[in-house]
Structure 1
Amino acid sequence: MSSGTEPATRPSGQASTAESPWPVRTVARKIADWIHRLGTVWVEGQVTQISARPGTSTAFLTLRDPAADVSMSVTCPMRLLRSIDPPLRDGASVVVHAKPTFFLGRGTLSLRANEIRAVGIGELLARIERLRKLLGAEGLFAPERKRRLPFLPKGVGLITGRASAAEHDVLVNAQARWPAVKFHVVNTAVQGLNAVPQIVRALSTLDANPEVDVIVIARGGGSVEDLLPFSDETLCRAVAAAGTPVVSAIGHEPDSPLLDHVADLRCSTPTDAAKRVVPDVREETARVHQLRDRGRRALHGWVDTQCRLLDQLRSRPSLADPLGPIERRADEVELNVERGKRAILTTLAHEQSALTSARARLTALGPSATLERGYAVVQFSDEEGNLRVLRSVSQIAEGTALRVRVADGAIRATALAPEE
């Protein structure tokens, strides 16, 4: 060790170890050498914490990313800051041409600006329009991805400014319409540097809450710069990715930030949002009474119709006097049975008379009647032994055996010679 003398400088290529560490100045110098080799860069952000003390040649300000909690210190000549017209104010959007600088003594990094351009309204609108086309091409504005709001949400998430008129309008009007509505209010910045990160965090918190069925993002009217956070790409993509339906209620009727196009429902004002997220208890009660009356009338009408139909069915002869037709048919059946009997008896009597007449004719014309009148039937046997009626004397010869049948019997005879 040497007293009062600076240790010898180590070679720049020698690596540091626990036994041979680098001094702070060496590390700082190496970082400064590396940063100072970087070129200039154009940076966009929002200005905050402007420090321009009279009598100094350098102004200090902070440049913040509007979509993230990231900021950097910027230094610039006082004359450069004074040359900007209109003068810069907190929250202004700027584009800075600067070179990264590392201050060896303090060990801090900042940007040394040599040009600062304020972003005007026209440029802001042009950027919003370019972002509108980009998000529209990606389908974030498509009507088919819009979700319907629940008829009666369990809970309503509300993202708005603290003690703002928008918060008052939403709460008062919603509770006037449906007194039992439950709100989960998250107060955030609604303009300026912290608006986008706070709104995105609040949206994530409410989206993860199972008691929240719909989320309302509300703010009163304002200038283009005031409503700029609601056209931020990060916020628009967060709303598009949310699993809970989101209602946009930003500004007044003419205001139309990009959030209106991404949200599932766009309301012209916070008051309009309160009317859209919950039903009106009076209107719903009247509708219930109306539907109940219609149902009662419809039921009574149906019952009356069925009663008339039953009366018509009961008034029909088959139901009014079910035994009458059977009795009448029974009488008709008995009458027809009697008629059938008489017809059968008449037919039988007629047939019996005809049979008797035919029998009488047969009896009168039959051989028995002839035999009873004195006639006889002479038969002989042919060569085959069959009896045949003798019709001519030429059929037999003398001595032929004959059978003579008379009325009361038959006798045997023998043929003699025929008479001349």
Structure 2
Amino acid sequence: MALETSAEKPAPLRQISQLLDGYIARLGAVWVEAEIAQLTRRQGVCFLTLRDLTAKISIDATCSSMILDASPTPITEGARVVVHAKPTFYSPRGSLSLELREIRPQGEGELLAQLERRKQLLAAEGLFDPRLKKPLPLLPRGIGLITGKASAAEHDILENARLRWPDVRFVVRHALMQGASSAADVMGALQRLAQDDSVDVIVIARGGGSIEDLLPFSDEGLIRAVRAIAKPVVSAIGHEPDVPLLDLVADLRASTPTDAAKRLVPDVREELAGVASMRERASMAIRAILERESRGLAAIRSRPVMANPLTVVDLQESVIHDARDRARRSVTHRLDRSSDEIGHHLARVRALSPLATLERGYAVAHLADGTVLRSIDQVAPDVEFSVRLADGNVGVRTTETTGKDEDHG
């Protein structure tokens, strides 16, 4: 029922606020299309300002940070979205807001979400693995170029590459760089260049454009075709911020077509300057070595031994002579000591020798069988035996024997 009021019977403001709260609560959750004009995060809660796509109408909204984080693509200011929201009215301040329950990106955001899902699936297969990247040749014999006919990208690559290396050779294959059949056309040109033995590296180049314009270069078939060929592929699509999936699978990603030309071939002027610099450094190094060795030879030649090489020989000769003299003295001294020792031993032997005893007037009597006579009982009268003197033997015969007692008597 309509609220009846008049100047005499006005309704309290609180009643109007309560009625508005009730009317809005009965509206329930609705799907709303809008643009995010402002976005602020505070302690797990997001505060947004939603703006109509055509009219100058905006409404504040709130949601949990988890709702924004669940979006397949980042939600940022300026993004076009469709939200599932419950309108709420805050009675104390009389403000209307939306309590967001779901956010879905639309337009460009939806395309980005699709590309993100495709990127994750292809990455899970390992198509973007850095270990699969093939190195570019230092100086390719031929460069295959896939680009639009008479495009700025073709002009930039050819002109900049030839300025850097005039003898560079290109094999150009034109293809559609935009539209529904662009990916298939690029894949056909890619296969033809992959079979050309004169081509060492392939470049796919296009100027900048919108996300929709660059969609062919995120085509799954093109991505798999680039990974399948054996030759390295360079991606030069759009500008620095543009990152189609071709950039991820290519063996080298160039930020622009001009950057691709700089990466494909070296700068002949820089290379010549480098060669000249290396020659100069090599010459300086050789001169330094020669000067160091020359100084070393001069130092060696200035040594006394080089002025008179026999000095070392004379020194060693003196050492040898001294050693020889010491050896002779040592041997002579040893011989003298040994001679004295032999003389002493000989004197002792002579002193103990039976012959020396005989020389003092003693004699030794012994029978024919060599038995030494020590008693008269060992001989009988008329027995022959020998007497050993200092200078020989005397044969004797006994005539009689006399004992000690008889002799003293």
How high is the TM-score relative to the length of structure 2? 0.59
Structure 1 position 291, deviation (Å): 4.0
Is 1:132 paired with 2:119?
yes
Paired positions, count = 295
Structure 1 position 185, deviation (Å): 1.6
Which residue of 375, 397, 409 corresponds with 1:412?
A: 397
Task: Check whether the contact 1:250–1:270 (CA below 8 A) recurs between aligned residues.
Answer: yes
The residue number in structure 2 matching 1:198 is 185
Gaps of 5+ in 1: 1-118
1:322-333 equivalences in 2 (<5 Å):
323-324=313-314, 326-333=316-323
Which residue of 379, 382, 398 corresponds with 2:365?
A: 379
Residue type at the aligned position of 2:399:
T
Q: In 1, Cα distance between the equivalents of 2:204 and 2:352?
A: 127
The residue number in structure 2 matching 1:164 is 151
Task: Check whether the contact 1:159–1:187 (CA below 8 A) recurs between aligned residues.
Answer: yes
Cα-to-partner distance string for 1:189-230 (whole Å, 9 max, x where unaligned): 222344333322211111111111111111111122322222
Cα-to-partner distance string for 1:37-84 (whole Å, 9 max, x where unaligned): xxxxxxxxxxxxxxxxxxxxxxxxxxxxxxxxxxxxxxxxxxxxxxxx
Q: In 1, Cα distance between the equivalents of 2:233 and 2:353?
A: 123
The residue number in structure 1 matching 2:265 is 278
Secondary structure of 1:414 counterpart: coil
The residue number in structure 2 matching 1:338 is 328
Residue type at the aligned position of 1:228:
L
Give the fraction of aligned pairs with identical amino acids, expressed as a percent: 46
Task: Check whether the contact 2:382–2:397 (CA below 8 A) recurs between aligned residues.
Answer: no
Against the structure 1 CA distance between its residues 415 and 232, is the aligned structure 2 distance closer, same or farther, given a 3 Å change threshold?
A: same
Q: In 2, Cα distance between the equivalents of 1:306 and 1:367?
A: 88
Residue type at the aligned position of 2:216:
P
The residue number in structure 2 matching 1:103 is none
Q: In 2, Cα distance between the equivalents of 1:267 and 1:306?
A: 50
Structure 1 position 128, deviation (Å): 3.1
Is 1:388 paired with 2:368?
no
1:79-228 equivalences in 2 (<5 Å):
121=108, 123-228=110-215
Q: In 1, Cα distance between the equivalents of 2:197 and 2:309?
A: 66
Cα-to-partner distance string for 1:294-345 (whole Å, 9 max, x where unaligned): 5555556666777788889997979965533542343135414532563365
Gaps of 5+ in 2: 1-105
Root mean square deviation of aligned Cα: 4.0
Residue type at the aligned position of 1:210:
D
Which deviates the most, 177-186 or 134-143? 134-143
Against the structure 1 CA distance between its residues 365 and 310, is the aligned structure 2 distance closer, same or farther, given a 3 Å change threshold?
A: farther
Structure 1 position 252, deviation (Å): 1.1
Which deviates the most, 311-320 or 361-370? 311-320
Structure 1 position 168, deviation (Å): 1.6
Q: In 2, Cα distance between the equivalents of 1:231 and 1:380?
A: 139
Against the structure 1 CA distance between its residues 234 and 412, is the aligned structure 2 distance closer, same or farther, given a 3 Å change threshold?
A: same
Which residue of 241, 248, 252 corresponds with 2:235?
A: 248
Against the structure 1 CA distance between its residues 403 and 191, is the aligned structure 2 distance closer, same or farther, given a 3 Å change threshold?
A: closer
Task: Check whether the contact 1:128–1:231 (CA below 8 A) recurs between aligned residues.
Answer: yes
Task: Check whether the contact 1:402–1:414 (CA below 8 A) recurs between aligned residues.
Answer: no
Secondary structure of 2:177 counterpart: coil
How high is the TM-score relative to the length of structure 1? 0.58
Against the structure 1 CA distance between its residues 398 and 256, is the aligned structure 2 distance closer, same or farther, given a 3 Å change threshold?
A: closer
Cα-to-partner distance string for 1:257-279 (whole Å, 9 max, x where unaligned): 22222222111111111111112
